[in-house]
Amino acid sequence: MRWTKFRIKTLAEAEDIIISALYDIGLEGAQIEDKVPLTAAEKEQMFVDIPPESQEDDGVAYLSFFVEENEDGTLKVNGENTTAEEILKSVENELGDLRLFMEIGEGTVVVDRTEDIDWINNWKQYFHQFYIDDVLVIPSWEEVKEEDKDKMILHIDPGTAFGTGMHETTQLCIRQLKKYITPETKLLDVGTGSGILAILALMFGAGEAVGTDLDPCAIEATRENIEANGILPEKFSVMTGNIITEKEVQDKVGYECYDIVAANILADVLVPLTPVIVNQLKPGGIYITSGIIDDKEKTVKEAVEAAGLHVLEVTYQGEWVSVTAQK
């Protein structure tokens, strides 16, 4: 499969209006490259494992649009066959119109052709083996070095699910789990993603784990990672569903039967989750939360306390926070 790429050099402040204008002529799914710093809210909503490298903002932005080529070399936009030259002319006309009432910077367009774009797997070039304290985390496409074979090794391939272990929130949870895991521990991992927290909990010596997630892709990724790490299926069961709103999921998970509940989710999800999840914890059970950008710390702590839990510890890494509490 081949694609024609239209790459526009413009200003960051003009991104939205250009994307909107080009959407009207049939160009969709813009790839945006700029150096605008993320706000706290954007960081929380993105919640990415592999954060982009930050550089000083120079106000410049590049917008790329990809159009799939037909076998005869023509392109299809809005269901009709066209050519790169015709699309380029339309793009330049739209940019010319925008110049009449706003600053768009250079506004140049470069047209290029590219081979099949593997959108799902391109991110793998940024994910390489690394350590979280004394645990070696290694993706499925890399080999364990001879000198690392005596280490605790976590084989992880998140697929399209969250959870490589690179994100600060995941590392905060892992360190808290280490403190509270015992051979008798039964763990519930809400929003399990790639299954990384529950798998590591079992590797740390926990007896059993249950994971829930809204995304079927996460459940599939988790099952693959369970197998890759030699975890017995009966040790870690997973299910799709929303434990906050679905009574069926709550019933299936069970009540007052977990020594630890871990939830590495967004702060805005932790607030409604906490009063529900209290029912899954045993008396004296530990609740480990993360996914909390620093300006949401107070909100989550208040939700935890309002649910009748006692805050034991608040830990920090970068701009992220983990709140650990006890029932």
Residue numbering of the annotated binding site for S-adenosyl-L-methionine: 170, 191, 213, 264
- The DSSP call for residue 38 is P
> Using an 8 Å Cβ cutoff, are 294 and 320 in contact?
yes
| 185 neighbors 201 (Cβ within 8 angstroms) | yes
- Location of structure tokens 């993105």: 46
List, in sequence order, the alpha helices (H) in the chain: 15-23, 40-46, 84-99, 168-180, 196-203, 216-228, 247-253, 267-277, 297-306
Instruction: Count the residues in the chain.
Output: 327
3-state secondary structure of 191: coil
196-235 in b/e burial notation, b at 16+ Cβ within 10 A?
A: bbbbbbbbbebebbbbbbeeeebbebbebbbebbebeeee
Spatial distance between the Cα atoms of 25 and 9, rounded to a whole number of angstroms: 18
Nearest to 191 by CA among 166, 170, 168, 167: 170
Distance CA 303, CA 268 (A): 10
Contacts by 294-299 with C-beta closer than 8 Å and gap 24+? 294/40, 294/319, 294/320, 294/321, 295/40, 296/44, 296/267, 296/268, 296/321, 297/321, 297/323, 299/267, 299/271
Rounded Cα–Cα distance for residues 66 and 75 (Å): 10
Beta-carbon neighbour count of residue 244 at 10 Å?
A: 16
| Rounded Cα gap, residues 80 and 230, in angstroms | 51
Which residue ranges make up the annotated binding site? 170, 191, 213, 264
